[in-house]
Chain A
Amino acid sequence: QSALTQPASVSGSPGQSITISCTGTSSDVGGYKYVSWYQQHPGKAPKVIIYDVINRPPGISNRFSGSKSGNTASLTVSGLQADDEADYYCSSYTSSSTVIFGGGTKLTVL
């Protein structure tokens, strides 16, 4: 199964908002509420920032928000900060009882 489709890179200036898309199919993103987003800084383990499409774990800033429409999920980061610069990955449960990740998006804060 191919990875979910994410843009390779996005960028924004401090204080601005950016949105990262994650496109799958009706057999994964479109079919289930189990869409998650992870942030990964270089050399570090991933950190979950969104789960079940829209939910933030405790301690995650409300500057991060998730949504879904059809087969595409989205992560919005508002009020960009320097520390937001990282790689972001989406993931989804699939009809094959597996999990699939997106290819990853590098966020650059200009």
Chain B
Amino acid sequence: EMQVLESGGGLVQPGGSLRLSCEASGFTFNYYAMTWVRQAPGKGLEWVSYISGSGDSAYYADSVRGRFTISRDNSENTLYLQMNSLRAEDTAIYYCAKDILVRGGFCMDVWGKGTTVTVSS
């Protein structure tokens, strides 16, 4: 069974940093692009960042570009999101998700349960 499991969320002060992890299992990790999506309390989905299967290409939402860095360790089947200069508006559930197709489709078919990030003093 294909699964992804996020970890690393928590309470952090404004301006602080946090590193999220996402462990994948049940599929050939390096074949698939991976994505981070977040959802603020009571709000809709917001795409955050995408990384290709090889890790050579990465893209970011305007709201996080320059503050967040996506990366992956294909030898460990793990995706990361390094979040710096955190703001209150970054408070959300952060989901890790796998791309549906090997060739890339910018669509996610396997989602984790999410990890909660709260930015507050």
Contacts and interface: CB of A to CB of B under 8 A. Distances in A.
A92 B108 CA distance: 12
Interface residues of B, number: 23
Interface stretch (A19-27, A41-49, A68-76): A41-49
A20 to B, nearest CB: 14
B26 interface: no
The majority secondary structure among interface residues of chain A is strand
A91 B107 contact: yes
Interface stretch (B17-25, B73-81, B83-91, B109-117): B109-117
Interface residues of A, number: 26
23 contacts: A1-B62, A3-B44, A34-B106, A36-B105, A36-B106, A36-B107, A40-B45, A45-B112, A48-B100, A48-B107, A51-B109, A52-B105, A87-B44, A89-B45, A91-B47, A91-B106, A97-B59, A98-B47, A98-B59, A99-B35, A99-B47, A99-B50, A104-B45
